[in-house]
Amino acid sequence: MNQLDALKQFTTVVADTGDFRQIEAFTPTDATTNPSLILKAVQKPEYRSLLDDTVAQYRGRALDELTDRLLVRFGCEILSIIPGRVSTEVDARLSFDASASVTRAERLIELYQAEGIHIDRVLIKVAATWEGIAAAAELERKGIHTNLTLLFSFCQAVACGQAKVQLISPFVGRIYDWFKKSVGAAWVEADHAGAQDPGVQSVTQIFNYYKKFGIATEVMGASFRNVGQITALAGCDLLTISPELLAQLAASKMPLTRALDAQAARALPLEPLQLDEAAFRFALNQDAMATEKLAEGIRAFCTDAAKLDQLLLAA
């Protein structure tokens, strides 16, 4: 058995890509996209027609509508390949506007439903700002399920659990990147591998807390830099993995065992935490890594959203 098949015994495997032609070989259950992945995909010749067709069909419509229709077009293509759910992201430029995020999310769902896609097969991705979490809570009350992304800190995870969101995506690789850069030349890779990886430790802490207190929100580790980070989180609810790392897992025969265990987590001596807005903002402020990576991630997604706008306008 290869490592990918072994991982599927413990964890739901999710493909992290807009390049849906790469997905089929790995038979993931779900798939995730983001503005950067869609931008990357539409610049490939084999996907350019999706952008051109969308613009041709809806020329003259508002730019934000064209963007949403393109995202849904990619999502529908992905859903024709996988049996589960696709995550589609609300414009990152709305990360601090709860009301506008809800409105865009509802339109995305309406566009999917117009294509015959059931609401339960779509997760709306929203940045895990305080406003994003508030938007997600409202969407969940309306029956629209959410995936809270750009999650780097324990306080973000606690707030998402309180909001009863469907799923969170803690970013393993970007946490690892920050700590490696912070330590600089003194960083010893072997000392921060596997269970000692700071990104792995963050997801493990969140997973254990959720399972200890019966929080139903699913934990999906994301943003991986290497296979070791993935195997160290075997047993997590879901893991969303790039096609390149899926291929490495599929090519490896190394043994893989469960690393995270919900039953074991229930026995841990943890204390519950409640966060209001002030406590959330203070806790996030005190976490330099999470503060920096959240802001950086939103800026990067906004940059790529603007680039996608330009491609749509030029088509």
The DSSP output letter for 26 is: G
Question: 53 φ, ψ to 5°?
Answer: -65, -40
Alpha-carbon distance of 112 to 126, in angstroms, equals 17
Residue pair 14/242 in contact (Cβ under 8 Å)? The answer is no
Name the catalytic one among 125, 211, 212, 293. Answer: 125
Find the farthest-apart pair of alpha carbons in the chain and give their distance in angstroms, rounded: 59
Q: For 182-219, b where at least 16 C-beta lie within 10 A, e where not — what string?
A: eeeeeeeeeebeeeebbbbbbbbebbbbbbbeebebbb
The pairing of beta strand 146-151 with beta strand 167-170: parallel
And the tokens for 102?
A: 């809800």
125 has catalytic annotation:
yes
Alpha-carbon distance of 6 to 1, in angstroms, equals 6
Alpha-carbon distance of 228 to 4, in angstroms, equals 13
Alpha-carbon distance of 206 to 212, in angstroms, equals 10
Handedness of CA 58, 64, 69, 74 (dihedral sign): positive
Residue pair 152/170 in contact (Cβ under 8 Å)? The answer is yes
Active site residues: 125
